[in-house]
Amino acid sequence: MLYTRKGDDGQTGLYGCDQRISKSSAIAEALGCLDEINSLLGWCKVKAGDKSFKVGAVGIASAINDVQQDLFVIQAQLAGASKVLSAERIKIVENLIGEIEKILPPIKTFFVAGGTELAAIFDHARTVARRAERRVIAVAEEGVVKLPDESLALLNRLSSLLYALARLANHDGGVSEEAPRY
């Protein structure tokens, strides 16, 4: 059942335990931001899959799905569960970023978001990923939860991956990147 008809008094439960926390707590905010980026990555995955978007042999939709699974691990860790994200996952994400960088011209300036629809969605996802990272770091700094270094590293690399994917989507779509006019 999706609701209890009792209300929750502004409280929510954490994964794998009976603990209740305020929905306005830092940990609830961090979990919500991770949920938001995971949802947005679902949209990216569908749009990338529609275009059979690949880097070499790597299907981007499949790579995004793997990152979504990683985010579930991080959410579980934040909620206190003993889940592990392997260091290999960070290497895989970094390698994908490196392969994308080989395809694209070097970065010389910031770029105005947009271009192709897929690039715009990746750019939006990048900003949500950065917010999620900030919220998770805030929880870690409060000492509420100690997250493994691998989880923090993956969150950090996620925004870089999404930036690279936005640039690649424009490149593949034949759309030039627009520099800000300041």
Residue 17 to residues 13, 78, 172, Cα–Cα distance (Å): 8, 12, 46
Beta bridge partners, 58, equal 55
Q: Is residue 4 part of a domain?
A: no
Give the CATH number for residue 25.
1.20.1200.10
Residue 55 belongs to what H/E stretch?
strand 54-55
Residue 117 has a pLDDT of 95
Residue 71 falls within a domain, yes or no? yes
Residue 157 belongs to what domain range? 20-172
pTM of the model as a whole: 0.87
DSSP state letter for 86: -
Instruction: Write out pLDDT tens, residues 12-21.
Output: 666 666 676 6
- 179 domain-assigned: no
Q: Tell me the one-letter amino acid at 84.
A: V
Other beta carbons less than 10 A from residue 79's beta carbon:
20
HSE on the CB side for 48, CA within 13 Å?
26
Q: Convert the pLDDT of each residue in 104-124 to its tens digit.
A: 999 888 898 889 999 999 999
Question: Looking at this protein, which amino acid is placed at residue 126?
Answer: R
